[in-house]
């Protein structure tokens, strides 16, 4: 049985910002490691894709590359070991200023399905063995890159926004009814020209999943209140008021 890692979505927001808040248009970096592009997209027509990993730091790095399946449930990201996506090379050494091409590929086409496949590639520094007697704390670099496998039959984005009362406050809710992910950037709840609440980074919502965002300090919404959000599928604007 595959081992499963469950992490609250909020714990991964920093990694998601690094690896995709710019909607895959800019390089991502974690300290001395830079990755470009910041998203891997595979399909039956494009079963292999490569990214560049660059060492911008002053010291050599040993980097390990791996891929895990990525799911979401009850507000948590879940990662499990997988053989669906291959990575080459799985480990490499980068001298200062050096660049390494890392390839990702479909293990077989049987994994293609009606919904987009979601995975994450992890690039992690392998710390060198410290000198005997050394007490200095070693900082290990880690960066995460989303890997998506296109669904059979094409992408069908879709979703529903709503606002619901929870206790004495309002919760913004999005249900992804499409067969591909939605990556949300900055989100604002507005009433005309007035901004009622702002969420700086919405994060990813995978196919079939629902995500909630509590609106701090908002006890109710006027009837005309709208959600205005940035996403990798374009701008979103929808009336959600009346709660």
Chain mean position to CA 37: 13
Enumerate residues 6+ apart whose C-beta is below 8 A from 238.
161, 226, 227
Answer whether 222's CB lies under 8 Å from 191's CB. yes
Structural domains of the chain, ranges and CATH numbers in brackets? 4-149 (2.60.40.10), 159-239 (2.60.40.10)
Answer whether 187's CB lies under 8 Å from 237's CB. no
What pLDDT, on a 0 to 100 scale, did the predictor assign at position 215? 94
Instruction: Look over the chain and give the mean of its residue pLDDT values, rounded to a whole number.
Output: 86
Answer whether 213's CB lies under 8 Å from 187's CB. yes
* pLDDT tens-digit readout, 211-237: 999 998 899 999 999 999 999 999 989
User: 70: closest CA among 81, 58, 57, 86?
Assistant: 81
pTM confidence score: 0.84
């Amino acid at each position: 049985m595959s081992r499963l890692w469950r992490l609250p979505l909020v714990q991964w927001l920093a990694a998601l910002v690094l690896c995709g808040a710019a909607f895959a248009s800019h390089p991502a970096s974690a300290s001395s490691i830079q990755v470009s592009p910041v998203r891997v997209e595979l399909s039956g027509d494009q079963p292999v894709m490569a990214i560049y990993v660059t060492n911008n730091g002053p010291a050599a790095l040993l980097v390990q590359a791996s891929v895990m399946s990525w799911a979401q449930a009850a507000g948590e990201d879940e990662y499990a070991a997988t053989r669906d996506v291959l990575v080459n090379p799985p480990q490499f050494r980068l001298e200062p200023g050096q660049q390494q091409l890392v390839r990702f590929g479909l293990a077989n086409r049987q994994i293609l399905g009606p919904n987009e496949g979601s995975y994450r590639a992890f690039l992690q520094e392998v710390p060198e063995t410290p000198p005997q007697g050394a007490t200095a704390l070693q900082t290990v670099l880690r960066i995460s890159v989303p890997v998506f496998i296109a669904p059979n039959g094409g992408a069908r984005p879709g979703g529903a926004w709503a606002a619901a009362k929870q206790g004495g406050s309002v919760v913004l809710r999005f249900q992804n009814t499409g067969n591909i992910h939605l990556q949300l950037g900055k989100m604002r709840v507005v009433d005309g020209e007035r901004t009622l609440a702002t969420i700086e980074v919405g994060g990813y919502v995978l196919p079939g999943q629902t995500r909630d965002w509590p609106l701090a300090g908002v006890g109710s919404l006027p009837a005309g209140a709208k959600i205005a959000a940035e996403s990798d599928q374009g701008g979103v604007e929808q009336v959600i008021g009346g709660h």
